[in-house]
Amino acid sequence: MNAKPIPDNDIAETEMDGGDDPVMTALGKDLAWDTADNLSKELHGADLIKAYVKRLPNAPGVYRMFNGDGDVLYVGKAANLKKRVTNYAQGRGHSNRITKMITLTAAMEFVTTRTETEALLLEANLIKRLRPRFNVLMRDDKSFPYIFLTGDHEAPGIFKHRGAQTKKGDYFGPFASATAVGRTINALQRAFLLRTCTDSVYESRTRPCLLYQIKRCSGPCTGEISVDGYAELVREAKAFLSGRSQAVQADLSKTMQAAAENLDFERAAVYRDRISALTSIQSHQGINPQSVEEADVFAIQQQGGMTCIQVFFFRTGQNWGNRAYFPKADAAMEPEDVLGAFISQFYDNKPVPRLILTSETLPEAELLAEALSLKAPRKVTVTRPQRGERRDLVDHALANAKEALGRRLAETSSQAKLLQGMAEALHLTRAPRRVEVYDNSHIMGTNAVGAMIVAGPEGFAKNQYRKFNIKSETATPGDDFAMMREVMERRFSRLVKEEGIPDRSAENGEEEALADAISDTLPAWPDLLLIDGGIGQVNAVMTILKELGVDGAVDVVGVAKGVDRDAGRERFIIPGKTDFTLPPRDPVLYFIQRLRDEAHRFAIGSHRARRKKEMVKNPLDEIDGIGPARKRALLHHFGTAKGVGRAALEDLEKVEGISEAMARQIYDHFRQAG
C-alpha cells in the first residue's frame, strides 16, 4: 500500500488537525491517508473494495469511500480495518442504502490510528466537515448561547454570549436557545438589578437610565449603589446561576422579613419583587432534578422515515432548556445506531457534561464515553438509566421527542401535499423539491435590490435566501425588466459554473427517489421559478435562461397581479401556454400567495437596509486607504466629514497618521466630487 498525503478533493490540512480541538490536533500530526494507486481504474463497487481488502492491516482506523467525481460518500471507523471493509466486499446482507453506496464507490482511502477511541474522534470530526451523503448527519449545528457575567470591570454586566469563551468572566449554560437566555436575563435583571449596558455607555452616563427608573438596574453607573453593594448583587447572581438558588431565595426572604418588621415597607417591597423574579425563572425551567447536577439527556423517536432527537440540558441542578434535532438518517438504521452517531458528532464543538443519559442502550457506549473523556478532559459517563429520577428525565425527553416528531411529520405532510398540488395546478412534470421566488424592490430606481427566497419540502429555507444589489449602470433606473435580467444572469451563470447543467431528460425515477431520501439539503438547482410579475418579467427571465442554455432545466411561472391588484385573482403565465387563474379558495393559490408575500417581504427588507446604509454612509468610506483609525483621526480633528472636505491640503497633513500622499488623495477626492 502506497502512503500519500491527503488529496485536494475535500479535506484540507486544517480539517485534519481538528482546528481548536487539542485531541484532533494531536491526532492530525501522525495521520497520513493511504490508497492503492496501482488499482485498475476500471474497478468499482464490490470488486474495487475486494482489491483494497488485500492490502489492509488488522488495526483500528478510519476509511473514506468516494464516487467517480471524487465526492465523499461515507466516512466510517473500525476497530479492525481489514475485517470491517471485508463486510462491504462480501456483497450480501446489506440494506438498500449500503448496497447503493457500495455500487457508487470508485475509490477508498484509509488511515490507521493508535486506538479505536482515536478512530471514533477522527470519524466524527470528518463527518462534521465533509457531510458525506450516506452518514448520519446533524442538520442544525449552531453553538449554544450562554449567560456571561463580565469579570474585568468594577461593575460587572450580564450579557448573552455565543461563541468562543475568551473574555474574562463567568459563563453559565449552555441554554437551549437565545430566547431562553433572553428570558432568563430579563428575570435576572429584576431579581439582581445588574446592568446590561456596554462599558462605553456605562462610562458616559451622567444620570440613571430608564432601566433604573423601572427597577431593572441598580444604577452603578451614576453611583446610585455603592461598589460594595453592587458586588453583593453580583455575588448573589453567581450563586443563583451556580445552583444555590434555594439559599439565595432564603436569604432574600429573611432580609424582606427584617425590613417589614422594621416598618421599612418600601425596601421590603423591593425584595418581594426580587423573590418573585427568581420564582419566575424557576417556573420556566419546569423540571429541576434533585439528584442530577450536570447532565445532557438524549431521547430518540423514529416514525414515517424521519428521526427526532430531543436534547435536554441540566447544569448546576437546573434545567436550561431543550432542543429538538432532526438528523438525516436512513430509515432502516436502528435507533441506537443513529443516536450513537449523532452524539459523537454533537460534542465536536460543544462542552461535554459529566453525565450523558440516553433513551437507548448504545452499542459502543463505553467507547463513546472514553472518547468524550479525552475531549472534556474528565471522566464522562454514558448510560441508559433503568429506574429512579434519571429514568424519569429520559421518559420526559422521550415524550417531547414524540411530540416534536409528530408536529414535524404533520408539517412535512402538509407541505408535500401543497407541492404536489402546485405541480398539478401549474402542469409540472413532478412535485418541485426546490422552489425559488424572485422579486425586486426600489424607490424611483434608487437602491434597487433583487431578492430570491427558497422553499422546499420542509417549508422556507431561510439559509438559502439571497439578495442581489443591482449594479447595472446602463439600465434605466426603475426598469424592472432590466433588473430581472441582471438577477437571473448573475444567479444562473454562477449556478452553471459551480454545479453544471442538470440533465433532466436522463433522470431515473428510482435513482432520484433514493437521492432525495439520503440528501439532507435542498438540491442546488431549482425545479421551479416563480416570478412576481407579468409577461414582461417572464420574457426577461426566459431570454437570460436561453442565452445560458438552461431554459430546459427549470420551469418558469409568472404570477401577475389580478384585476385591481386583488389577492385571489392572480393570473399565472407559463411560456408557450395560455394564461389562467386558480379558484379563489384553492389551497394551492393560498400557498403561492404566501410564497410571493415572503419574497416581497424579503425584497422590501433588503431594500430598506440598503437605503438606510446609504443614508448614513460617510464620504470618507469611499476613499481608498482610509480605515477606521484614519477615519477616527480625521473626524476628531475636523469634527465632521464636511469639515474634512473643506480642509486645506496643509491642514490635512497635520492630522496624525495622514501622510502627504494620503492628504493629497483626500484633498483630490473631495475636489473631484465637487
Task: Report pLDDT for 50.
Answer: 86
Mean per-residue pLDDT of the chain: 80
Q: How confident is the model at residue 95 (pLDDT cuts 50, 70, 90)?
A: confident
Give me the CATH number covering residue 387: 3.30.420.340
Give me the CATH number covering residue 53: 3.40.1440.10
**Interior CA angle at 542 toward 540 and 548, to 5°?**
110
Same domain assignment for residues 566 and 506: yes
Task: Report pLDDT for 385.
Answer: 92
Q: How confident is the model at residue 188 (pLDDT cuts 50, 70, 90)?
A: confident
Same domain assignment for residues 151 and 114: no
Instruction: Look at residue 344 and tell me whether its pLDDT is greater than 50.
Output: yes
Identify whether 419 is part of a domain: no
Task: Report pLDDT for 63.
Answer: 92
* Cβ neighbours for 450, distance < 8 A, ≥ 6 positions apart: 438, 439, 440, 467, 468, 470, 483, 484, 486, 487, 603
How many whole angstroms separate alpha carbon 443 and alpha carbon 441? 7
Same domain assignment for residues 65 and 85: yes
How many whole angstroms separate alpha carbon 439 and alpha carbon 450? 6
Give pLDDT tens digits for 459-482. Answer: 888 889 998 888 776 666 667 888
DSSP conformation class of 215: T
Identify whether 258 is part of a domain: yes
- Give the highest mean pLDDT range of 13-22, 63-72, 280-289, 312-321: 63-72
* Cβ neighbours for 514, distance < 8 A, ≥ 6 positions apart: 96, 100
Same domain assignment for residues 507 and 531: yes
Of the candidate ranges 60-64, 232-236, 314-318, 667-671, the one whose mean pLDDT is the lowest? 314-318
Number of domains within the chain: 5
Among 285, 314, 348, the domain-final residue is 285
Which of helix, strand or coil describes residue 667?
Answer: helix
How many whole angstroms separate alpha carbon 346 and alpha carbon 343? 5
Higher pLDDT: 218 or 249? It is: 218
Provide the whole-model pTM: 0.65
Helix, strand, coil abundance in the chain, percent, nearest 5: 45, 15, 35
Q: How confident is the model at residue 8 (pLDDT cuts 50, 70, 90)?
A: very low
Same domain assignment for residues 609 and 623: no
Give pLDDT tens digits for 147-168. Answer: 898 888 888 998 988 877 788 8
- Give the highest mean pLDDT range of 137-141, 469-473, 551-555, 624-628: 551-555
Higher pLDDT: 480 or 456? It is: 456
Same domain assignment for residues 280 and 314: no
| Distances from the Cα of 26 to the Cα of 11, 122, 362, 443, angstroms | 17, 11, 27, 57
Identify whether 396 is part of a domain: yes
Give pLDDT tens digits for 639-651. Answer: 777 888 888 888 8
Identify whether 512 is part of a domain: yes
Task: Report pLDDT for 563.
Answer: 58
Same domain assignment for residues 549 and 583: yes
Q: How confident is the model at residue 18 (pLDDT cuts 50, 70, 90)?
A: very low
Same domain assignment for residues 603 and 628: no
Same domain assignment for residues 400 and 268: no
Instruction: Look at residue 392 and tell me whether its pLDDT is greater than 80.
Output: yes
| Mean pLDDT on 370-389 | 88
**Interior CA angle at 219 toward 199 and 161, to 5°?**
40
Same domain assignment for residues 512 and 526: yes
Identify whether 303 is part of a domain: yes
| Mean pLDDT on 15-40 | 51
Give pLDDT tens digits for 508-545. Answer: 444 554 455 444 467 889 999 999 888 888 998 999 99
DSSP 30-71: T---EE-TTS-TT--HHHHHHHHHTT--SS-EEEEEE-TTS-
Among 585, 613, 641, the domain-final residue is 613
| Mean pLDDT on 229-245 | 80
Instruction: Look at residue 48 and tell me whether its pLDDT is greater than 60.
Output: yes
User: Exposure string (b/e) for 220-238, b if CB count within 10 Å is 16 or more?
Assistant: bbeeebeeeebeebbebbb
Instruction: Look at residue 141 and tell me whether its pLDDT is greater than 90.
Output: no
Task: Report pLDDT for 5.
Answer: 34
Task: Report pLDDT for 505.
Answer: 57
Same domain assignment for residues 15 and 46: yes
**605 burial level (CB within 10 Å; 0-12, 13-18, 19+):** middle
Question: Which structural domain, as residue segments, surrounds residue 223?
Answer: 146-285
Same domain assignment for residues 490 and 582: yes
DSSP 127-168: HHHH--TTS-B-S--PPPPEEEEESSSSS-BEEEE-S---SS
Task: Report pLDDT for 391.
Answer: 92
Identify whether 420 is part of a domain: no
